[in-house]
Structure 1
């Protein structure tokens, strides 16, 4: 703004200076002309007056008397008078001796009067006699209608020059003061104009720097006041719009960040413009390594490149499944569509990926569950049907054989009953239809009580069962019956899958907040690929052995759900051929956070 008010001040100063100079020269010219005209009229009046006196007194005939008379005019009026006859001879002069003066007929002022017959003659020239620039005015001396001579009056221009010098000095002083005052006024006006404009410019600069809270604080009226009001209105509007945009961006960012589906935008040049956090997880890369890259470089590993290329070429939506194998296998449902800007101008492709790995896994689990249930039911049903039909046919006469067939039917029916009861229990537990009767339970004592029912199985397999010491109670809040069911299933599995002469060890650890029950065996172990599925319904590592042991394949699934209903968790570690360690972690109180 300094340059603006300086430019305005300089322009104002230049304008005032030009007007002052023009006024100065104009006034000087007018005054000089006025002085000259006044001097001319003064000379003419004096010349005419002397001419009339000469005619009235007929002094033109008496040169000596005229010389004496004219000589007296010089002192009082500082004007020179010269009288010549019609031949140009000087008769009288107020300053010099006429006898010493040349003939004046050829002087321009006399020529104009004597020869041209003008009313008066005028000339300005340097006088060698007076050594000054003089103004000469000649008028005719007319007697009886005949010009008998001429009277000339002259005055030094030095008087005019002195008057003009004084005038010029006065004009210079007055106009100089006017110039200074107007310049100061111009600077003040310029500052008065540019100061609020500077505030407006400062606010606009701050607005351009995204400081939308800035306002113009001024009380100036007129156009600048209206401009300030308009800028303030604009700033308020921008602030409101930016607040809305920021809120919308925050909402969009929050939505994009918390979406479980991956979103990616590819611009019309084929480069990635935007990815959300879910898409980063799918690609196992940070957005900094994805944004700006070519789509074929980013999406080729999971088969997206060809789909994006199809959208660019066909300009239509595409729906397909893609697979990712790093860092883990994923199955994703891909939706691709072109997106447009203003005027339906194509701007790129939007890609949305839904992770359907769990859905596909659940579908497979459901399929496996149906197949397993069918298989589990088919075997006992087939046995019951076959042996019952044989008995009904009457072909079996031997009582021992009949008894054997009936026992098989009884055992298979019991197996069916256990299977159905386990399925019903598991379904109820999953739907939380079995309420927990929470009470204070000594888990160490409960382990010893439960182990009594398994001593026969352990002795039969010559398996050593090592239990935690019961000298110190380990208390927690739990449903006693459900906790017993958990302990029974885990110890029974340890005995069943441990060869003869093995060891099943149960230990307890506790801290201020939770209790850990650890069931470890040195049995056959579990393959690494089966660890993730060991808690699925009907999943068996050794199916033949599990069925021979009378298990339904639902025990660990029930255990997992019972532990989760107690707000606990279960962990498993196993090495094939070396043994398995299962850790159950339960909170001491059911009202504490996990």
Structure 2
């Protein structure tokens, strides 16, 4: 629609120009001026034409005859790629014809010349080489801007039989004939001068009245084409006519309409930009030529790109092959596709679900739109659940098997010895306790997820908490010297549930004991942070087997267990202890941490806000 309006605008300008021209010239002046000019021009141009044709024809024949002598030698030199012989032949041809000799290939590129030119291997701009390589001889005059004087060009094919090896261009000066022609032209100019002066005087006022508004209109259209929408023009009354006034009004209306349309387009584009920027899902739109047209920051982050992906070819991007394959599959089948894959990251792997759908415009396939979802949390949770089911199944199977075996032995009456009978009963009791502990941990996990401990919250003194936990834990050790407690220098109060905090410390200490050698030291302590005096840090440090860096982030996840191959012979739990501890600390507005190095031990702990210090 906008293009049509612009075309109508220029048609109006053309129409006004034509009407104005007819109204400004009277018929007598035009007829007299045209008759005088026609007589002078016919006589002058006739003389110039016949002289020009005679000279050019004779010069062309002379150059062709002189050059035919060198055709075979030059053909062989070109075919044998003998540059030295080619240059010698070109110099002789140039000398014979008192000019220059160039050699071009079929594409019109210069391959050799005499005199030598710096611009070799460049294309000859003023020549169409096709007729030469079709076996024809051509001639034309070359404009002086390509040389220091006007030249006549003769193009001759260098060929034997039907094989054209190259095109030979011979240039010779036509300055002499042009000088004669110039004299004739000068005579014609002098004869026409008086008539032209009269025409200039009469046409001056007309030209000014027409050119000025058109000049303003031209500048206005240039401003419009450069994006200066909304610009209007106001022509002086002395230059305007009814037609110019209507054209001015049409232009101003069109300019305002364009400004409104562009502003609306900008607003819509910004809306799309803001929507895409705010989306957590990655968006990637690729057209039929495999060029990325639309994307957002989430897509760049998921695919590991720090720069914009737009205006780049899909296959040129350094992204996961599964993404490219999914898009290509939609391009081939033109049907929706959905794939899930893992992207390798420097810190951790992420799981991505990509859904690609074909885009059709007017029933024609245009491109593919892809939506990328980060499903890492769901994927990790499902994996942890699978591991948990396997672990719980294993934990349930072992005690149940012991209970069943012991019960069968007792029921069959095989054991008559009272001590052995007691042994089997103890097995049943211990394994029942194991089952009960596992069920309790699962129930506690659910309980802490949905419960509020505010009813049991109270002021807890940290040194008292450390003492109570340490006193109980030390009794479970064979060697009391391997355990020590580091107390705070002054009384420090926190707000929370003392039983739940005790449970956290019991869990951390029990893990330290479980994964340390029997003589390894275990340390329980607390510190006031230098950079955060309103926070106390409680820690449990051991000299155990340590935890690899890639697994430290996951140890607080429910159901998670460190690779069993790294903990041979160690006791195994349900994988819920640390997850329960993390839940309890977060309910106290705190945060958990772990520092570990394989073979050197681990430090587990938490940071919790101070209620009051004395």
- Structure 1-normalised TM-score? 0.59
Identify the residue that residue 508 of structure 1 maps to in structure 2: 527
Contact 2:304 2:319 in 1 (8 A): no
Identify the residue that residue 135 of structure 1 maps to in structure 2: none
- 1:456 is matched with which residue: 475, 489, 497? 475
- 1:356 is matched with which residue: 375, 394, 400? 375
CA distance in 1, matches of 2:560, 2:407: 30
Cα shift at 1:580: 0.3
Does structure 1 residue 579 correspond to structure 2 residue 601? yes
Contact 2:385 2:559 in 1 (8 A): no
Listed one character per residue, the Cα deviations across residues 187-221 of structure 1 (whole Å, up to 9, x for unaligned) are: 99989x949x95x8777665555455656789999
Cα shift at 1:450: 1.7
C-alpha spacing 1:444/1:222, structure 2 compared with 1 (3 Å)? farther
CA distance in 2, matches of 1:318, 1:542: 36
C-alpha spacing 1:253/1:216, structure 2 compared with 1 (3 Å)? same
Contact 1:518 1:582 in 2 (8 A): yes
Listed one character per residue, the Cα deviations across residues 336-383 of structure 1 (whole Å, up to 9, x for unaligned) are: 333234x33433333333333433322221111111122222222222
Identify the residue that residue 505 of structure 2 maps to in structure 1: 487
Identify the residue that residue 441 of structure 2 maps to in structure 1: 422
C-alpha spacing 1:235/1:515, structure 2 compared with 1 (3 Å)? farther
CA distance in 2, matches of 1:483, 1:345: 65
Identify the residue that residue 367 of structure 1 maps to in structure 2: 386
Does structure 1 residue 567 correspond to structure 2 residue 589? yes
Aligned ranges 1:255-274 → 2 under 5 Å: 255-274=275-294
SS, match of residue 454 in structure 1: helix
Does structure 1 residue 519 correspond to structure 2 residue 519? no
SS, match of residue 592 in structure 2: strand
CA distance in 2, matches of 1:548, 1:408: 20
CA distance in 2, matches of 1:470, 1:300: 52
Identify the residue that residue 184 of structure 2 maps to in structure 1: none
- 1:385 is matched with which residue: 384, 399, 404? 404
Identify the residue that residue 277 of structure 1 maps to in structure 2: 297
CA distance in 2, matches of 1:208, 1:432: 68
CA distance in 2, matches of 1:208, 1:370: 69
533-542 vs 497-506, which moves further: 533-542
Does structure 1 residue 325 correspond to structure 2 residue 344? yes
Cα shift at 1:476: 3.1
553-562 vs 508-517, which moves further: 508-517
SS, match of residue 287 in structure 1: coil
CA distance in 1, matches of 2:421, 2:588: 48
Identify the residue that residue 577 of structure 2 maps to in structure 1: 555
C-alpha spacing 1:204/1:580, structure 2 compared with 1 (3 Å)? same
Identify the residue that residue 270 of structure 2 maps to in structure 1: 250
- 1:406 is matched with which residue: 422, 425, 437? 425
Aligned ranges 1:133-172 → 2 under 5 Å: none
SS, match of residue 294 in structure 2: strand
CA distance in 2, matches of 1:485, 1:218: 89
Cα shift at 1:547: 9.5
Contact 1:422 1:554 in 2 (8 A): yes
Contact 1:303 1:323 in 2 (8 A): no
CA distance in 2, matches of 1:368, 1:457: 30
SS, match of residue 586 in structure 1: strand
SS, match of residue 335 in structure 2: coil
Identify the residue that residue 495 of structure 2 maps to in structure 1: 477
SS, match of residue 303 in structure 1: helix
- Structure 2-normalised TM-score? 0.57
Q: CA RMSD in A?
A: 4.3
Extract unaligned runs of 5+ from structure 1: 23-178
How many residue pairs are counted as aligned between the two chains? 420
Extract unaligned runs of 5+ from structure 2: 1-12, 33-200
C-alpha spacing 1:497/1:324, structure 2 compared with 1 (3 Å)? closer
CA distance in 1, matches of 2:252, 2:462: 74
Cα shift at 1:576: 1.9
CA distance in 2, matches of 1:513, 1:235: 65
Listed one character per residue, the Cα deviations across residues 221-277 of structure 1 (whole Å, up to 9, x for unaligned) are: 987777676666555554444444333322322232233333222232233333322
CA distance in 1, matches of 2:287, 2:434: 63
SS, match of residue 284 in structure 2: strand
